């Protein structure tokens, strides 16, 4: 065989490395308000182009424009801003707590707050989310107590999960938040299965699946799309494309061409891309997809285009694989600042009120933290009972577990 006929393996490479100048010229961004809003019952074949554009509502001047605008009142937007600010403050305090040794692990949402906070307001009580570890905004926007979240992070005596889950892997059936799995792609197939079961039972509740861009490379992602499309499951399937897995850029999972939303087209699933840093756009697209599922029209795949500003987790150092200033160059901006500016333009907010709200939220988060820490932290105070490891596993405890519990003296 001639040398020029030998095969070689192609491995996608990020455009820039640490020390290089950030470059997002390969991210085509549609003008705010330019992407049409189809009818909810549209044939997926008629909206294939929405898998390649980006739905945006807020323009650079802070105005809400286009057919996806106008769904939220000023009061609802102010509430949404407070939810995002609360999540950001919560993140900062819990990251600090991890650095102080009060918990073993934490994961921030910095830059991605709009995705979960806005989506949650499009859902109804009883709907079930199957989240990843970066959708705590679903809980905060849904009224779940911060103290309870912190108790879980500290694995203390008041931890509702009794120390059985890694910190930040929350679970609350009452708040529509299915137990988080560290193997993210499993959430997708479970969401589709839950949605199918709801339909089989002639229920009214829908399911929502969440996955990161990196985990779309797993087979569970594709298996979920097969079942969702075949049985028209009442489910919304979200891909949070924050550009980076723990140390791997999105091109490894996506390949050299196309978008993550485009993966749904081959399954006949309506697929849209949305500006994940635009609270109004995320909510509008979520509302559209949720209504489609509730009207028994089948699944929708949504790619939220955003950026992970912070490290993947407290175990990660992003400076080792991407430019330090890359987040500053992200063209879709900061979701909190963008919504704040929009509300100022509307005349219902101001810089002074924003600073006041920051102080109020910080006080509330610190108060919740003090209450949680009164129940213990990782290395101090109350812990879940060793007895808890034997409880809640079986409806009736089998003899071998009873013996082990007796031997343990608990």
- Size of the chain, expressed as the number of residues it contains: 410
Tell me the mean pLDDT in the region 114-118.
98
pLDDT of amino acid 257: 63
309 vs 301: CA distance, rounded Å: 24
108 vs 313: CA distance, rounded Å: 7
The per-residue pLDDT for range 62-108, each reduced to its tens digit, is: 999 999 999 999 999 999 999 999 999 999 999 999 999 999 999 99
pLDDT of amino acid 2: 60
Helix axes 74-99, 113-120, angle to 10 degrees: 130
Q: Which two tokens stand for residue 86?
A: 């609360």
289 vs 55: CA distance, rounded Å: 13
Q: What is the DSSP letter of 260?
A: S
The pairing of strands 235-241 and 271-275 is: unpaired
Element (H, E) at 372: helix 351-373
> Token pair 């082990």 is at which residue?
404
The per-residue pLDDT for range 205-239, each reduced to its tens digit, is: 999 999 999 999 999 999 999 999 999 999 999 99
Q: Which two tokens stand for residue 191?
A: 């969401």
Tell me the mean pLDDT in the region 190-196.
98
The per-residue pLDDT for range 334-388, each reduced to its tens digit, is: 999 999 999 999 999 999 999 999 999 999 999 999 999 999 999 999 999 998 8
Indicate the pTM of the whole model: 0.95
Element (H, E) at 241: strand 235-241
């Amino acid at each position: 065989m001639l040398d020029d006929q030998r095969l070689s393996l192609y491995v996608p490479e990020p455009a820039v490395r640490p020390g290089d100048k950030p470059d997002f010229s390969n991210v085509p961004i549609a003008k705010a308000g330019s992407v049409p809003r189809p009818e909810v019952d549209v044939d997926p074949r008629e909206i294939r182009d929405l898998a390649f554009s980006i739905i945006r509502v807020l323009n650079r001047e802070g105005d809400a424009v286009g057919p996806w605008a106008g769904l939220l009142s000023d009061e609802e937007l102010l509430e949404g801003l407070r939810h995002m600010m609360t999540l950001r403050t919560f993140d900062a305090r819990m990251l600090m707590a991890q650095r102080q040794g009060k918990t073993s692990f934490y994961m921030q949402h910095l830059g991605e707050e709009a995705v979960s906070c806005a989506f949650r307001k499009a859902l109804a009580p009883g709907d079930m989310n199957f989240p990843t570890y970066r959708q705590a905004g679903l809980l905060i926007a849904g009224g779940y107590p911060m103290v309870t979240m912190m108790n879980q992070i500290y694995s203390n005596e008041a931890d509702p999960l009794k120390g059985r889950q890694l910190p930040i892997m929350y679970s609350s059936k009452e708040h529509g938040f299915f137990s988080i799995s560290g193997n993210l792609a499993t959430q997708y197939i479970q969401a589709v299965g839950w949605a199918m079961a709801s339909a089989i039972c002639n229920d009214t509740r829908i399911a929502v699946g969440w996955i990161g861009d990196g985990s779309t490379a797993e087979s569970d992602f594709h298996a979920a799309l097969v079942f969702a499309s075949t049985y028209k499951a009442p489910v919304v399937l979200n891909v949070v494309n924050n550009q980076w897995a723990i140390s791997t850029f999105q091109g490894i999972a996506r390949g050299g061409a196309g978008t993550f939303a485009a993966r749904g087209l081959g399954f006949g699933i309506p697929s849209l891309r949305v500006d994940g840093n635009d609270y109004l756009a995320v909510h509008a697209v979520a509302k559209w997809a949720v209504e489609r599922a509730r009207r028994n029209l089948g699944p929708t795949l949504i790619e939220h285009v955003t950026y992970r500003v912070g490290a993947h987790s407290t175990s990660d150092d992003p400076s080792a694989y991407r430019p330090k200033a890359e987040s500053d160059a992200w063209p879709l901006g900061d979701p909190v600042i963008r919504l704040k500016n929009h509300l100022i333009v509307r005349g219902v907010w101001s810089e002074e009120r924003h600073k006041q709200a920051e102080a109020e939220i910080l006080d509330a988060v610190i108060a919740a933290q003090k209450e949680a820490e009164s129940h213990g932290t990782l290395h101090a105070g109350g812990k879940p009972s060793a007895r808890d490891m034997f409880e809640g596993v079986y409806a009736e405890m089998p003899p071998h577990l009873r013996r082990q519990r007796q031997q343990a003296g608990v």
